[in-house]
Amino acid sequence: MFPLCYAISKESLQGSAFAMTVFTALTSIGGILTPYIIGVVSNKFNINTAVLMLIFNAVMIFILSGVNYKFSKNNENAY
């Protein structure tokens, strides 16, 4: 998943070194925190709830990616 997101974001970040650095740092933090959060949720509730949380996150990423794509296309037409 990470290489795909990284490749897709490259165009929208327009080669900005700072933006790519921040993106890499934030995705790494997400990769570190997500297993911990899933473990806490599965211990507090059950593994089914933890898996549903992962599915919810995937759906939200898909929706937000679509919104980002729509806004980026609108900004291209403005120039």
Higher pLDDT, 21 or 50: 50
Give the per-residue pLDDT at 24: 81
Amino acid at 24: T
Q: Cα separation of 46 and 17, whole Å? A: 41
- Residue 78's pLDDT band (cuts 50, 70, 90): low
Q: Indicate the average pLDDT of the chain.
A: 82
Domain count, the chain: 1
- 36: containing domain: 2-78
- Gap between the terminal Cα atoms of the chain: 32
Asked if 66 contacts 59 with a C-beta cutoff of 8 angstroms, the reply is: no
Q: Cα separation of 13 and 18, whole Å? A: 9
Asked if 27 contacts 2 with a C-beta cutoff of 8 angstroms, the reply is: yes
